[in-house]
Structure 1
Amino acid sequence: MAKKMKTLLIGAGTMGTIIGALATEGGSDITIVDAYKEHVNALNEAGAKIIGNIQKQIPVKACLPTQIQGKFDLILSITKHGAIEDSLIKAKPYMADDCIVLTLQNGFPEEKAMKLFPEERVMGGSMEFSGTFKGPGITELASEPHTLGITFGSCSGEITDKVRQVKQVLDPVGNIAITTNIKGLKWAKLTDNTCFSGLPTALGCEVGKVLDDDFALDCAAHIGSECAQVIEALGIEPVEIFGLLPTVERLVFKTDQEKQKVKEYWRKVEEPFRGQIASMLQDVRNGRKCEINEINGQVSRTGGLVGVATPYCDKVVELVTKLQCGELKLENAWENLNAFKSL
């Protein structure tokens, strides 16, 4: 039997804390590293407290970046996009010769990792649950417990012994699946993010408010349609993730009747996440730049390359950019819905 992978989890925000805690509880050897000193101290003193749809307090190992010691077999990268490359470069001295790097951010972070490491050492994945950071040592699981899961795979698509070892590390978190189609997985998750992270951020609301407002859901349906058309133009076969399969057949519509079916499909997919506050919205609320250019912006850029118009994604990028620079007020963000009426 292969030895247990010694794992360094970089980025103890909401998702990283939940993954690190649940994996540790299940017996995986995890060290959580983060630059937020008060959070690291709280994790070491009282453990990771998870509230919301599960209630747990789990002892964990945490440290600051300057306190990392030893060699690690696996790096779980869950930092913000802007910190991916720098954090991985700084972690290099602590990586074993055959260390695997698994990036779990939204968008396409594995492309950044492959600039630093050989393809055979890089894996990519998508997290299927949502949460909210509540303060040092405390995170909230905002989605239903059955959403706890991660789908991941090697960038080559091959299912190797290393892939199986990584799955063993992650198995205690929940439903862990391996894919041989990483591009299809990442574009499926990106579709979800553009519709129900980007749009709620532009409107300053939780997912549930979009689901309950007919015109807001109408906008989400248009965003999803743009994504499906871009995916088809790229020749990518999307992977189904938490019930979402962003194909043209599922998400593109021409008549009002077809649009209603698409909206009902989205309601079914997103209902378990109605309490979610998008991480981008959390960033904007805390005065930080968010990852809108890696989410809706990615669809807009790619649409331009493949000849697919993306006016709804473009508008989301415009609105969120104005919110995070203070040109638009977050307390009035729901009024941004009016900006879509001319599209």
Structure 2
Amino acid sequence: MRIALIGAGAIGTIAGALISKGGEDIVLVDSYKDHVDAMNNRGATITGCLDENIPVKAILPGEMDGVYDLIITLTKQTGLVQCLEEVRKNMHPGTMILTLQNGIPEDIACGFVSRDRIMGGGVEFSATFVSPGVSRLTCAAMSLGVTFGSLEGPVDDRVRAVGVILSHIGHVKITTNLLGVRYSKLTDNSVFSAIPTALNCELGKVLDNDDAMKVVAHAGREAARIIARMGLVSEVIFGFQPTLENLDFNSPEEMKRVIDGYWRPIYSAYRQQVASMLQDIRKGIKCEINFINGKFVDKGRELGIATPYMSKLVEIITKLQDKVLPLESAWDNLESLRALGTD
């Protein structure tokens, strides 16, 4: 199977390198020329919780040639439409698209190929881009893995073949409930990507602060209530499942139970994580806030569910991104989140 992984950033570099190490015919596609050159000259280097240097083939988007059997997208959703438009010429009638980025990107992919040719899922590990050719794994190597499935649901030979390819990354779970996986991952991103981004810190600093964790609890509860109202059954990803049973509370005592008994134990393995949205803002580029927390804000409006915490996070992160708020003093944004009422 001829494979193109488009978007070899922090996560894509690790995923693509491990798939390449597994012997698959894969090329890593990225628009950052220095990064592409470094990977071709020195291999893809993984540091942090994994120490690997893996020879890979990397190219710029304009260098894609011929057609591919599988296109894995890990680009930002902000650029996904343009990405898929550009690779139309590299698809044949049976080309599969596997969307592994944040948000609900399958909605966009449906504009380019039929639903039966779309798979999607979520990676279960975190990473930080260090420098051209180098990505740091910021969680235990045992966390490496992917949960994915087809948009239509059935587990057929094509899904199983893609599962074998992804198994080079780590553990693989095939689901028949892709939307359930997506909304679990969306909740994860809307909480533990958004809040550290709004405060300009690693995940561990949020875990260690009781006021920040109250914001976590409230934002998570908003997500769980929306998911329940939608009638979705969320899926378990890396031990996390945003159900009302796990995340709802109606008193300070119940909130403390949710924080100490659920949120902190699950996310303690990711203390070193630097959120992808924060990495983007630090680089001076647009992040995916409107596709992540913004998705819950839109759904909440549609369903008549208040989302004050999600909405405030969208506001803060947009202002950080647009340099209306200073990133250097972003921890002060906790005060405006606390003002919403976190007790």
Query: In which range does the TM-score fall when normalised by the shorter chain?
Result: over 0.9
CA apart distance, 1:261: 1.2
Letter in 1 for 2:42: A
CA apart distance, 1:69: 1.9
Q: SS at the partner of 2:75?
A: coil
- Looking at structure 2, the residues matched to 311 and 239 of structure 1 have their Cα atoms a distance apart, in angstroms, of 25
2:24 counterpart residue number = 28
Residue 157 of structure 1: which of 143, 153, 159 is its match?
Answer: 153
1:297 counterpart residue number = 294
Q: SS at the partner of 2:285?
A: coil
Counterpart mapping for 1:249-264 below 5 A: 249-264=245-260
Greater than 3 Å deviation, 4+ residue runs: none
**What are the superposed Cα offsets for residues 262-304 of structure 1, whole Å, 9 maximum, x if unpaired?**
1021001111111000010011111111111111111111011
1:288 counterpart residue number = 285
| Structure 2 runs not aligned, ≥5 long | none
Q: SS at the partner of 1:244?
A: coil
Percent identity between the two aligned chains: 47
CA apart distance, 1:258: 0.9
1:217 counterpart residue number = 213
1:176 counterpart residue number = 172
**What are the superposed Cα offsets for residues 18-68 of structure 1, whole Å, 9 maximum, x if unpaired?**
000001111111111111111111111110000000000000011111211
1:67 counterpart residue number = 63
- Looking at structure 1, the residues matched to 293 and 90 of structure 2 have their Cα atoms a distance apart, in angstroms, of 34
Q: SS at the partner of 2:329?
A: helix
- Looking at structure 1, the residues matched to 155 and 68 of structure 2 have their Cα atoms a distance apart, in angstroms, of 21
Q: SS at the partner of 2:95?
A: strand
More deviation, 203-212/86-95: 86-95
1:135 counterpart residue number = 131
| Structure 1 runs not aligned, ≥5 long | none
- Looking at structure 1, the residues matched to 164 and 325 of structure 2 have their Cα atoms a distance apart, in angstroms, of 46
1:270 counterpart residue number = 267
Counterpart mapping for 1:1-343 below 5 A: 5-264=1-260, 265-343=262-340
- Looking at structure 1, the residues matched to 67 and 292 of structure 2 have their Cα atoms a distance apart, in angstroms, of 33
- Looking at structure 1, the residues matched to 130 and 319 of structure 2 have their Cα atoms a distance apart, in angstroms, of 26
**What are the superposed Cα offsets for residues 71-97 of structure 1, whole Å, 9 maximum, x if unpaired?**
211000011112112111211222232
- Looking at structure 1, the residues matched to 291 and 195 of structure 2 have their Cα atoms a distance apart, in angstroms, of 14
Q: SS at the partner of 2:113?
A: coil
Q: SS at the partner of 2:111?
A: coil
Q: TM-score, normalised by structure 2?
A: 0.97
- Looking at structure 2, the residues matched to 165 and 91 of structure 1 have their Cα atoms a distance apart, in angstroms, of 22
Tell me if structure 1 keeps the 8 A contact 2:211–2:338.
no
Q: SS at the partner of 1:331?
A: coil
Q: SS at the partner of 1:101?
A: strand
- Looking at structure 2, the residues matched to 41 and 342 of structure 1 have their Cα atoms a distance apart, in angstroms, of 48
Tell me if structure 1 keeps the 8 A contact 2:215–2:338.
no
Q: SS at the partner of 2:168?
A: helix
Letter in 2 for 1:34: D
Letter in 2 for 1:291: E
- Looking at structure 2, the residues matched to 31 and 150 of structure 1 have their Cα atoms a distance apart, in angstroms, of 19
Letter in 2 for 1:96: H
Letter in 1 for 2:65: Q
CA apart distance, 1:182: 0.7
Letter in 2 for 1:125: G
Q: SS at the partner of 1:330?
A: coil
Tell me if structure 1 keeps the 8 A contact 2:43–2:54.
yes
- Looking at structure 2, the residues matched to 66 and 246 of structure 1 have their Cα atoms a distance apart, in angstroms, of 40
Letter in 2 for 1:146: M
What RMSD over aligned residues (CA atoms) do the two structures have, in Å?
0.8
CA apart distance, 1:177: 1.0
Q: SS at the partner of 1:100?
A: strand
Letter in 1 for 2:329: N
